[in-house]
Structure 1
Amino acid sequence: MPSSHRTAAQRRPPGHRLLVVTVLGFASGLPLALTGRAMQARLSMEGLDVATIGFLSLVGLPYTFKFLWAPLMDRFELPWLGRRRGWLVITQLALAGVLMLMAATSPADATRAFALLAVLVAFVSASQDVVIDAYRTDLLPAAERGLGSSLNVLGYRLAMIVSGGPALIWTDPNQGGGWTSPEVYRFMAGVMVAAAVVSALLLPRSANAAAPKTAARHDLIGFFALVVAVAIGFGLTDRVFNPLARALLPSAPKWADLLALLAGIAVTLPLAAFAARKARFETLLSGLSNYFAQPGAAAFLAFIVLYKLGDAFAGSLMTPFLLKSMAYAPAEVGVVNKVIGLWLTIGGALLGGALMLKLGLWRSLFLFGLLQMASNLGFWWLAVNGKGVMPGLTIPAFDWGFVKLAAATPVDGGLLMVIAFENLSGGMGTAAFVAFLMSLCNQRFTATQFALLSAFASVGRVWVGPLAGVLAESIGWPVFFLVSTLAALPALWMLWWLRGPVRALESDPAAAKSAPGADD
């Protein structure tokens, strides 16, 4: 990118930009586990069944629809702090408040209320991600996006270590520090308040491209039209499709719930698109039109959905599999899967970013995708052979103040091997994938377009949960993990088909304008 076209933020020293990206990654990753695997652990320990836990993964739905309200964050600038920092502070304080409410609600006694609060956490967290993704994309020039995405994953995974690993160890009745799950959630709320203070006082103002010049009235009306459309879709699913599906499949209630969910999606998405057009939601429509104007745009979206699908399928019920089926202790899972495993993910992300400098974008995506697919076979092996097959190790008792083990904890060797491979390959794949998403964005619509792309990327992580839960109960864990391995093949085939357009993105986002078509 010529220096005359670089923003003021991009002219800052590289080390400063990369530090900011790491800090923002931490803020983004902290709330995710609290509605993901950490929440699954809480639900598992409170006795909920696997299929129900699978359906509760739908609390992450806002991550797949965040592009619908992202235009408001492109269009409106809050006073004093600027377009990006202002929204950051608002969303981080809102997260702190909702986490406090979630701490006070029991998932076993008030499952519906707990689920609704988890949806609200996911909504605000997805909104924070919209701003962070836009800020990061505005901040980094093309040459720094591989390393920048690696450091973003570093911060992201560090936060997940805090909200995942220690949280499981804290709440282990035999090994931990005697914390309850509500106390963990209140502690995380305090961390989000601290993040808001950092965003307000320490992050530099981003001198990004001018906000889209659209009618504010149309954007607000368009957003509320979308909310109404989604509410109608939810009502139809709850009051019409669910009773009808249960009447059609009276002996298979979980499959009936899944059928009703799919019918609701099939109605809600076209209804939301119709509402956006009729209400003239201009920032959303302009941002999407700008993205779809580039050659191969639709094919890129399909690839984005598929690339992490196999990985998401295997990981969607990882915590219930380890805690309930394999009968590992919470502290053992916390140490291996949430602490050691996430550090390995960070190592994989940093290694992936370094390799990208040599391999380029397309070869990195392909190689790391192969490794992600192979890692799913490790869980198949674990499900078939059980624990105790390989020699393990013992983690000595420790007390670091913020987390402790009351006694030495044995760690299964098979679990350690499988988690190590899965996290290393997943970190490498994520680093390449985030760099790929950034390369597709136009700065005038960064929030809208990155939200669209990352929403499609999260489809697997969120939407496969209900199907995964029903399948795992129906066909068993070994076959389930073989299915998850096969689910990774379509992305690799499609990446080979798209090698020309992807290679055209390696030098600069503007190259997408002149890239060959998706059929190259």
Structure 2
Amino acid sequence: MAIERSSHPWLAALGVYLEPRVARMLLLGFSSGLPLLLTLGTLSFWLREAGVDRTTIGFLSWVALAYGLKWAWAPLVDRLHLPWLTRRLGRRRGWLLASQLAVVAGLMGMAFSDPATHLERLVVFALLTAFASATQDIAIDAFRIESAPPQQQGAMAAAYQAGYRLAVILASAGALWIAARFDASETTYEAWPWTIAYLAMAGFMAVGMVTVLFSAEPRVTVPRETLEREARVSARLHGSGRLPKGLADLLAWGYSAVVSPFLDFLLRYRWQALLILALIATYRISDVVMGVMANPFYVDMGYTKDEVAAVSKVYGVIMTIVGAAIGGVLSLRFGVMRILFLGALLSAATNLLFAWLSTQGHNLPGLVFAVSADNLSAGIASAAFVAYLSGLTNVAYSATQYALFSSVMLLLPKFLAGFSGLAVDRFGYESFFVATALIGLPVLLLVWLAARSERQRAAFAPLPPQSKVR
């Protein structure tokens, strides 16, 4: 009987995943992860197969900068009401459905835009898809935080990540598999297999849309303290007589929603904020810059869609999940900063495997080995990096500050990745992959400096009350 009673808490804990609001996050995570690779990796495979040169493919990766700039319009998603949709669905669900409809429109536009003949039109629809997808991510984060108490946020996040990873597999391996099934020949290019694949992906967005329609709107209002602060700022601006009331209210809202979270971070870390932002901006630089050329590399090396789908898009994602699990355990055992250093070192070093692979021609076992090591190290690095970013946020501004950090993480790497095709055309794949490993080395110095700075802050921080008693 004692054994049976002791098992009850575990059964109760696992039961949280059967709750409707947690299950909904699995489906919303799927909706969030689906558009990402359709504007990045899968798209680059399509572009290369259509004969688009590598330099152009590299520059087109700048479409993903929409994800790095989402902090700029996150306050609008947080506070702005949409005509009709907000009244019928609520703030969060209204923005979710609007962004999902925009993703569907973008994917359908991409489906009917052959890059061999209408590249400019394809780029426009890819930008629409990326912008709408980033907006959906903002709305989902807010929906998740507001839909459950703090003790259930771990389960909500886990369900979201599971759905997200499933969608990544579908948008990469699934899209390639669909295109391959309708492709009469791997040696000649036809656009219509890709049209079918992208239309199918647009159809899968119905998962998220139906979830939104059958979900409850979170019953959360803007905190009274926030409204009072905005009122005080507006009164000062309007009381001077130099600004009309409407403009004063708008500026006060902007200060509360945009300026305050960033100012809080700078005041807490002062000069160390520059070091932290430099680390965030460069930590994933090796992976991101190399990643843009991965699919063109597979095409140029003669790997088929099925081979890439199986090894890189399915097996690789599984290895990333395994790496993330390992990284989480190691971070708990040895500390976040040590594993942050290890992740940066492995991420840079594994790029050298692709430099070696570029000299082997069509080598399927070599591809499996390189992808395994690369994705495993990426998972370890990601787990430590997410833990590091989470530790930097102030709980009073967690959503906005985390959006800022995750955006800064992408801006510089994505900008440099735009020149990756130019670098490959000029120097070749081997030299390019070696260079992507070398640019990751300064990150190791930044991690060491950030760890030392963190130790200094801890040493001079006042002891908590319970420690003083001891």
Aligned twin of 2:259: 285
Aligned-pair CA distance for 1:92: 1.6
2:281, 2:413 within 8 Å by CA — same for their partners in 1? no
2:29, 2:164 within 8 Å by CA — same for their partners in 1? yes
2:323, 2:379 within 8 Å by CA — same for their partners in 1? yes
Aligned-pair CA distance for 1:55: 0.9
Superposed CA offset, 1:302-337 (max 9, x none): 11111100111211210001112x121122112111
Distance 1:142 1:346, change over 3 A: same
Aligned-pair CA distance for 1:28: 2.0
* Structure 2 counterparts to residues 8-407 of structure 1, below 5 A: 15=17, 22-76=26-80, 78-79=86-87, 81-136=89-144, 141=150, 152-172=160-180, 173=183, 180-202=193-215, 205=218, 207=220, 210=223, 212-213=226-227, 281-282=254-255, 283-295=257-269, 296-324=272-300, 326-388=301-363
Aligned twin of 1:426: 378
* Structure 2 residue 442 is matched with structure 1 residue 468: no
* Equivalent residue letter for 1:126: A
Distance 1:94 1:130, change over 3 A: same
| Unmatched 5+ stretches in structure 2 | 1-12, 235-249, 465-470
Q: Which has the higher helix share?
A: 2
2:290, 2:417 within 8 Å by CA — same for their partners in 1? no
Distance (whole Å) between structure 1 residues aligned to residue 391 and residue 142 of structure 2: 12
Distance (whole Å) between structure 1 residues aligned to residue 436 and residue 342 of structure 2: 18
TM-score by length of structure 2 reads 0.78
| Unmatched 5+ stretches in structure 1 | 1-10, 220-276, 389-411, 515-520
Distance (whole Å) between structure 2 residues aligned to residue 425 and residue 18 of structure 1: 29
Aligned-pair CA distance for 1:91: 1.4
Superposed CA offset, 1:5-49 (max 9, x none): xxxxxx998645875655443222110001000101111111111
Identity, % of aligned pairs? 36
Aligned to 2:37, what secondary structure does the other structure show?
helix
Q: Report which stretch shifted further, 56-65 or 151-160.
A: 151-160
2:173, 2:310 within 8 Å by CA — same for their partners in 1? yes
Aligned-pair CA distance for 1:495: 1.2
Aligned-pair CA distance for 1:448: 2.8
Distance 1:160 1:496, change over 3 A: same
Q: Report which stretch shifted further, 413-422 or 135-144.
A: 135-144
Distance 1:358 1:26, change over 3 A: farther
Aligned-pair CA distance for 1:51: 0.5
Aligned twin of 2:240: none
Superposed CA offset, 1:454-513 (max 9, x none): 11111255212222111111111111111111111122211111115657999xxxx99x
* Equivalent residue letter for 1:180: P
Aligned-pair CA distance for 1:141: 4.9
2:393, 2:401 within 8 Å by CA — same for their partners in 1? yes
What's the RMSD between the two structures over aligned residues? 3.6
Aligned to 2:358, what secondary structure does the other structure show?
helix
Superposed CA offset, 1:36-81 (max 9, x none): 0010111111111111111111111211211111111233364465
Aligned-pair CA distance for 1:153: 4.3
Distance 1:194 1:24, change over 3 A: closer
Aligned twin of 1:480: 432
Q: Report which stretch shifted further, 38-47 or 422-431.
A: 422-431
Aligned to 1:451, what secondary structure does the other structure show?
helix
Superposed CA offset, 1:423-458 (max 9, x none): 111122222222332333344544432222111111
Q: Report which stretch shifted further, 460-469 or 109-118.
A: 460-469
2:27, 2:207 within 8 Å by CA — same for their partners in 1? no
Superposed CA offset, 1:341-391 (max 9, x none): 112212222332333332332223222222212211110110123334xxx
Q: Report which stretch shifted further, 167-176 or 30-39.
A: 167-176
The aligned length equals 416
Distance (whole Å) between structure 2 residues aligned to residue 140 and residue 374 of structure 1: 41
Specify the structure having the higher radius of gyration (Cα).
Answer: 2
Distance (whole Å) between structure 1 residues aligned to residue 455 and residue 284 of structure 2: 20
Aligned-pair CA distance for 1:113: 1.6
TM-score by length of structure 1 reads 0.71
Distance (whole Å) between structure 2 residues aligned to residue 156 and residue 316 of structure 1: 20
